């Protein structure tokens, strides 16, 4: 076990195999935070974990975690030592809109992976952090949740639910010493979006998302759009009257 900077809060990254999860883990490790990296296949995290240990000289543990195993959430969190003070949930599944339209099971998987599972693991983490009176919960949601669009409304509806959940959790915990941060990345150049024709001006890199998360943590932000232009875009989309919005192909 390698050393960590004294006094740095342990950080748990859920969905650590994702490109964004890996970038966030690297960013927190660069500041000296010990890490818990969690994914469904923890053996695939070992190379990344060893790189972080060597590069940043921090303690890194890897764990098996399935966000859809709701009964396993509590035992998973209780088994982490040291207990994390910062929990970052990067779990997500884009899915395929047409398949979700045709197959209820595919739609359910997208909804459970983006909304139910992430919300309930953060709820379980919040209860544990409440007892300690301090901590930070960070949920990576999506601009897709700002308004349902015909091109991805199954994924967008799940992210909308997750965004609303984070907002409510933040309101509930605001006097408890806990903070809740909602991250809306917009397009990100990752394996999940590989092959998609994404506009460069609107597309962030995973490291850019990680930098924004660290900044929000430091600055006490509540809701962030990784690229500020997305706030303007989604504000314009939200205020479109429904008769107009129905005719917009986005």
Ramachandran quadrant class, 62 (left: phi over 0; alpha: psi -120 to 50; beta: rest): beta
Long-range contacts of 42-47 (CB under 8 A, 24+ apart): 44/17, 45/16, 45/17
Quick check: is 225 catalytic?
no
Tell me which H or E stretch contains 14: strand 11-14
CA dihedral 201, 245, 165, 192 (to 10 degrees): -40
In the numeric block, the tokens 């192909």 are attached to 249
What percent helix, strand, coil does the chain show, rounded to 5?
Answer: 50, 15, 35
Kindly report the number of other CB atoms within 10 A of residue 230's CB atom: 20
Contacts of 132 (CB under 8 A, 6+ apart): 83, 85
The token pair that represents 218 in the structure block: 């430091």
Going by their DSSP bridges, the two strands 178-184 and 223-225 should be labelled as parallel
The token pair that represents 44 in the structure block: 């695939």
Contact assessment for residue 85 and residue 9, using Cβ atoms and an 8 Å cutoff: yes
Among positive and negative, which fits the CA dihedral 184, 226, 186, 245?
positive
Active-site residue among 28, 115, 153, 155? 155
Residues designated as active site: 155
């Amino acid at each position: 076990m390698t050393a960590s900077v004294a006094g740095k809060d342990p950080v748990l990254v859920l969905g650590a195999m994702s490109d964004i999860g890996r970038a966030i883990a690297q960013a927190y490790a660069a500041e000296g935070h010990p890490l818990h990296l969690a994914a469904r296949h923890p053996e695939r995290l070992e190379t990344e974990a060893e790189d972080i240990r060597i590069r940043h000289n921090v303690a890194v543990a890897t764990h098996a975690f399935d966000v859809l195993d709701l009964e396993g959430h509590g035992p998973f969190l209780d088994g982490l030592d040291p207990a994390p003070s910062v929990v970052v949930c990067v779990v997500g599944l884009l899915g395929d809109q047409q398949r979700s339209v045709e197959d209820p099971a595919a739609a359910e998987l997208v909804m459970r992976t983006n909304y139910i599972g992430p919300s309930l693991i953060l709820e379980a983490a919040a209860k544990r952090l409440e007892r300690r009176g301090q901590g930070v919960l960070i949920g990576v949601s999506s601009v897709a949740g700002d308004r349902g669009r015909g091109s991805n409304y199954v994924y967008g509806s799940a992210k909308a639910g997750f965004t609303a959940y984070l907002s409510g959790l933040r309101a509930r915990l605001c006097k408890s010493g806990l903070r809740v941060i909602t991250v809306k990345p917009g397009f990100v150049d990752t394996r999940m979006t590989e092959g998609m024709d994404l506009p460069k001006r609107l597309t962030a890199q995973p490291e850019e998302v990680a930098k924004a998360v660290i900044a929000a943590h430091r600055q006490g932000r509540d809701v962030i759009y990784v690229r500020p232009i997305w706030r303007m875009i989604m504000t314009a989309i939200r205020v479109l009257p429904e008769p107009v919005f129905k005719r917009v192909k986005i």
